[in-house]
Structure formats: structure tokens, C-alpha cells
């Protein structure tokens, strides 16, 4: 081969290589990795006081420890994450200091950071005869402050009881016991628990106020009041309309007392009215606090009269041209031409409409499909994810009722379909569930029934302000009236959302229930008084 031809061949090969290299540089991998959020599905710590709460939207876990658990050495007994995922660290290995949040990274194609927060309530008290109110316990600053009336001999006080750490495992040095105690000067106490010692300081000081009105919370027809006074005195409250001159004593049956702290509720008040409340201790009166009671409001369409039907035949619990408060799971079941929740002429009054919720297996030939629990809830059905539902729970609400009232009738069927963790429920009578909750959500709360991404309502979650429920298993021949009392965690917290849910099968979110269970509900209303 001539040198000329070899040169031509070399150039051609070089050009071809350059073209290939250029093509390689231009070719992109446009096929993305699947985006699979990695979830903590189950978690439990040794020494828990109650079940952990998993918030899969916020990627956050809250665990609740018994007061005797060593929070600096927490061991996890259960830890399950999404299949195929990797956890860093693996919580089943070793112990963890949970005094600050623990951060865990779950990964599979992408990384997801989870925050695990531990909560531990330790009951502490230091009670002295004749003190004003309750001693101030500061676990961060490691101090106790005792407030005594002016002129008290601080060197000759009487200690009634003391607890500065977890019960049964805490030692004090000096060993404080009920009896005489000298607090003329600050006292240093060594508090030892879990092999660690803290230095606490106990002070006594004078206070000018004998009795104080510390807080007043006004609801619609009820006022809650809180005060402090001498521990061994007859402490109470008085109230009046601001427009009136005379004070009315709060009956003793409405008052709770604990050492020098006391509280009360005042029922049978008028909405949107200004009241004054003050504390009383013997002949002494505390400061006056004025508040205005809230309004009252009805539950939108609490009688379930508003219904509409799509052209395809799916039922919705609202007027086609009106506002929406309730929704159902019909959007999911209608894919198989089934309405699980429908209007009914069967009512407690014999007129109007009620909501009929039925649990049915929705599928083909009784094989391919899932059990669906008929339900009606305050909120919105957002979408169907495969055969699972995604819901937006809650409607905006800022009032504090005391009870949910209404009528219901239930016909329980034998539980025919089960899934984890309720596989042993098969053959038992099904159970209906009606619950009401007031929450501090900032937006509707997303409910997901898909097992790998499951996020359900949790009555023990921190977002709960008040909660009440009705659970029944059996068969009723007629409607029965019910009252569900709302239990409040804190009388001062104002809700932002209201959640009411009625389900023919309590464990329907886990696709567990009895095919043919039927729940009727009607005439829902709120009571605002006690």
C-alpha cells in the first residue's frame, strides 16, 4: 500500500473516531432513576410509654419514652423501612442519645433524611406547707423556687413531699424527706439517676400576692379559669358579666384543686358575651381577667340532606351547585361501578335523607380486588393511587364544642377480609367507628392507604387538640342517639381544622372488615355546653 493511501486511511480512521467520540459526548441517559420515597414503616423503642407516631409527609418520627427510660441510651426493638431501602444508621444496632433529634438517612436511588424526636415527661414536684401556688420546677436550670407569704420564717418550713427525677431510680443528697426544712438560704441538692448526677438549687422567696388569677380561656358557652393561692386555704373563683355588678361564686363541684394550684370550668354561659373572672382565697381576691366568649356554629350539612350524582351514577355528599364539607371513598370504588356510600330514605325521623355506608369487596369475580369500607368524612377525596386512596382530611374550624351528637344504626357482618397487622381478626364481628377531632393542622392532612406509603390519622398525635370516638360491634334494630364527648388536651389551644369520620369498618384503612357491614348516620350537631 502506498504512503499516500495509508495517509488517507489514517485520516479517515481518525475522523471516524472523532465522530464516534462526539456522538458519545452528546448521548445522554434520559431514563431517570425511579423516584421511590423511602419510608419508616414501623419503629419501637424499649421503654416506650406509648406507640411512636410516624409522619411520612414530614419524614418525622416522634417517640414517647417512659420517665424511667434512660433517654441518653435508647435501644430500638423494632425498625422496618421500605423494601429494598438502606438505613444509615441501622437503628437496630446499638443505643442512641435522644436528648436531641436523631437524623437517619434512607436511600434507594435517592436519599431521604428522616428526623426522630424523643419526648419524655418526668413528673417533678416540691411541696411546702403554706406556699403560694405550686413550686416552680426548672429542669433545665436545675432549680426549684418556692413562693411563700410575706413574713414567713423561711428557716422553719415544712416539706410535704418531693420528687425531682424518675420514680424509684432517683436518689437525693441530702436525702430530703417530709418534715422540717430550712430554706433561709439556697439549698444545694445532688440528684442522681442512671449513674449521672445533677446539682439542683432550691430557693424560697416572698411573694406579695396571696392569690392570683393566672389564665382564663373562653369557649362558646364555657369558660376555663386557672389560679394560684395558699396551698392550705379555701381557694375558688367568682365571675360576672362585665355589664353586671354582682359576682357569682363558682360552685365547688366545678373546681379542681392540687396543692396551691386550682382551676375550674364555668358552664351555661352566653356566646359572644364579655365576662370577668377572678380568684378568691378566704377574704383575699386575685386579679380580674376579662374575656369574651366565642360564637357557636352548626356542622355544615349535619343532617346529610345534600347529595348529587354524576352522569355515570357516582354519588357525592354535596349539592352539585353548593359548597362541599363531606366526601366519601366512592371515587375509588366507582372504578368498579360500586358506590360504598349513598343517600338513604331510612332516617331516625322518617323523613329526609341519611348517609348509608356499606363495606363491600370491590373486584372481579370475588377474587381480583380489595375490600372497601363505606365511609363519610369531613374533607376531600384527592385521588386513587392504583387500588389505594389518597384523602385530604379536615375542614377549617376555630370553635371548641364539647360534644358531637347524632343518630346511628349499625348492622355488623363477620370480618371476611383481613390484612396485616389484623390477620387474626378474621371471623370476628365487624366494628363501626365514628370519631371527631379538633386539630392544629396548617393544611388538610393527607391520608394514604397504600401499605408502602401508609399515613393514617393518629388520635395520639401532637396535632390533636381534642378527640372523642364511638366504637360499636353488633346489630341494631333501629336508630340510637349518641353523644361523643370531646376530651381536650389543653383548654387554651384554638383549633384550625375539624375532622369527623364515620366508617362501616373501623379497620377499613387496612382493608380489614366484613363484606356487607352497614352503618347509617344522621342528624349530626355540636353541643357547646356541659
Is residue 27 in some structural domain?
no
Please list the residues that pair with 262 across neighbouring strands. 227, 257
Q: Number of helices (H) and strands (E), helices first, in the chain?
A: 2, 41
Q: Are 225 and 269 in contact (CB under 8 A)?
A: no
CB 82 within 8 A of CB 109: no
Question: Whole-prediction pTM value?
Answer: 0.81
- CA 232 to each of CA 14, 78, 127, 128, 281: distance values in angstroms, whole numbers, following the listed order: 102, 49, 11, 10, 10
340 and 431 within one domain: yes
Q: Which helix (H) or strand (E) holds 11?
A: helix 3-26
CB distance 513 to 374 below 8 Å: no
Lowest mean pLDDT among 131-135, 375-379, 452-456: 452-456
Within a domain: residue 12? Answer: no
Q: Is the pLDDT of residue 202 over 90?
A: yes
Residues 197 and 224 in one domain: no
In a domain, 488, yes or no: yes
Q: Residue 160 domain-assigned?
A: yes
C-alpha cell recorded at residue 402: 364539647
> SS3 helix, strand, coil % of the chain, rounded to 5?
10, 50, 45
In a domain, residue 143? The reply is yes
Domain count of the chain? 4
Inside any domain, residue 172: yes
Cell numbers standing for residue 495? 383549633
pLDDT of residue 401: 98
Q: What is the CATH number of the domain that holds 76?
A: 2.60.40.2340
Asked if residue 520 and residue 378 are part of one domain, the reply reads yes
Say how far apart CA 168 and CA 164 lie, in whole Å.
11
Q: Which of 207, 238, 258 is the last residue of a domain?
A: 207
**Do 176 and 252 lie in a common domain?**
no
Q: Which of 157, 186, 207 is the last residue of a domain?
A: 207
Q: Are the C-beta atoms of 404 and 468 separated by less than 8 Å?
A: yes
pLDDT band of residue 7 (cuts 50, 70, 90) is very low
Q: In this predicted structure, which of 14-18, 38-42, 80-84 has the lowest mean pLDDT?
A: 14-18
Angle at CA 340, nearest 5°, toward 334 and 345? 125
Report the candidate in 182, 67, 164 with the shortest Cα–Cα distance to residue 125.
164
Do 146 and 220 reside in the same domain of the chain?
no
**Integer Cα distance of 518 and 514 in angstroms:** 9
Q: Kindly state the percentage of the chain with pLDDT values over 70.
A: 92
What range does the domain containing 47 cover?
40-120
Of 233, 200, 257, 202, nearest to 131 (Cα)?
233
**CA angle centred on 228, ends 146 and 157, rounded to 5°:** 30
Q: pLDDT band at 29, cuts 50/70/90?
A: low
Q: Considering the domain boundaries, does residue 32 fall inside one?
A: no
Amino acid at each position: 500500500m502506498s504512503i499516500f493511501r495509508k495517509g488517507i486511511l489514517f485520516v479517515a480512521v481518525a475522523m471516524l473516531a472523532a465522530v464516534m467520540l462526539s456522538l458519545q459526548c452528546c448521548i445522554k441517559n434520559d431514563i431517570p432513576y425511579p423516584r421511590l420515597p423511602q419510608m419508616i414503616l414501623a419503629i419501637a423503642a424499649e421503654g416506650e410509654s406509648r406507640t411512636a407516631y410516624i409522619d411520612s409527609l414530614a419524614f418525622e418520627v416522634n417517640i414517647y419514652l417512659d420517665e424511667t427510660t434512660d433517654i441518653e441510651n435508647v435501644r430500638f426493638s423494632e425498625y422496618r423501612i421500605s423494601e429494598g431501602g438502606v438505613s444509615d444508621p441501622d437503628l437496630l444496632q446499638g443505643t442512641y442519645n435522644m436528648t436531641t433529634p436523631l437524623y437517619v438517612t434512607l436511600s434507594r436511588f435517592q436519599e431521604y433524611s428522616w428526623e426522630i424526636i424523643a419526648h419524655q415527661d418526668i413528673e417533678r414536684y416540691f411541696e411546702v406547707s403554706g406556699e403560694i401556688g405550686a413550686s416552680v420546677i426548672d429542669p433545665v436550670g436545675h432549680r426549684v423556687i418556692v413562693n411563700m407569704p410575706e413574713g414567713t420564717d423561711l428557716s422553719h418550713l415544712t416539706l410535704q413531699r418531693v420528687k425531682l427525677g424518675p420514680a424509684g431510680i432517683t436518689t437525693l443528697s441530702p436525702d430530703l424527706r417530709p418534715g422540717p426544712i430550712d430554706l433561709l438560704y439556697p439549698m444545694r441538692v445532688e440528684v442522681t439517676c442512671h449513674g449521672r448526677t445533677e446539682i439542683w438549687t432550691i430557693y424560697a422567696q416572698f411573694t406579695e400576692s396571696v392569690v392570683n388569677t393566672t389564665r382564663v380561656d373562653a369557649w362558646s358557652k364555657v369558660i376555663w379559669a386557672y389560679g394560684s393561692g395558699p396551698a392550705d386555704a379555701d381557694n375558688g373563683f367568682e365571675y360576672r358579666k362585665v355589664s353586671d355588678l354582682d359576682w357569682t361564686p363558682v360552685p365547688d363541684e366545678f373546681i379542681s384543686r392540687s396543692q396551691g394550684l386550682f382551676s375550674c370550668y364555668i358552664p351555661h354561659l352566653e356566646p359572644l358575651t364579655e365576662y370577668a373572672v377572678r380568684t378568691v382565697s378566704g377574704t383575699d381576691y386575685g386579679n380580674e381577667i376579662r374575656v369574651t366568649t366565642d360564637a357557636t356554629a352548626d356542622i355544615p350539612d349535619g343532617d346529610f340532606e345534600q347529595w348529587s350524582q354524576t352522569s355515570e351514577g357516582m354519588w357525592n355528599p354535596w349539592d352539585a351547585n353548593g359548597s362541599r364539607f363531606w366526601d366519601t371513598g366512592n371515587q375509588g370504588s366507582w372504578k368498579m361501578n360500586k358506590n360504598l356510600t349513598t343517600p338513604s330514605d331510612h332516617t331516625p325521623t322518617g323523613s329526609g335523607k341519611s348517609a348509608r355506608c356499606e363495606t363491600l369487596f370491590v373486584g372481579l369475580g370475588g377474587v381480583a380486588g380489595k375490600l372497601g369500607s363505606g365511609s363519610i368524612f369531613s374533607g376531600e377525596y384527592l385521588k386513587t393511587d392504583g387500588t389505594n386512596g389518597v384523602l385530604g382530611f379536615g375542614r377549617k374550624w376555630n370553635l371548641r364544642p364539647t360534644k358531637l351528637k347524632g343518630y346511628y344504626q349499625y348492622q355488623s357482618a363477620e370480618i371476611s377480609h383481613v390484612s396485616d397487622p389484623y390477620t387474626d381478626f378474621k371471623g370476628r364481628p365487624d366494628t363501626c367507628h365514628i370519631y371527631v377531632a379538633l386539630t392544629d393542622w396548617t393544611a388538610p392532612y393527607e391520608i394514604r392507604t397504600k401499605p408502602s406509603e401508609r399515613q393514617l390519622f393518629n388520635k395520639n398525635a401532637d396535632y390533636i387538640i381534642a378527640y372523642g370516638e364511638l366504637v360499636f360491634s353488633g346489630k341494631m334494630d333501629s336508630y340510637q342517639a349518641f353523644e361523643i364527648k370531646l376530651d381536650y388536651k389543653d383548654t387554651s389551644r384554638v383549633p384550625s381544622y375539624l375532622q369527623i369520620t364515620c366508617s362501616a369498618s373501623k379497620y377499613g384503612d387496612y382493608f380489614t372488615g366484613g363484606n356487607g357491614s352497614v352503618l347509617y348516620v344522621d342528624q349530626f350537631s355540636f353541643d357547646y355546653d356541659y
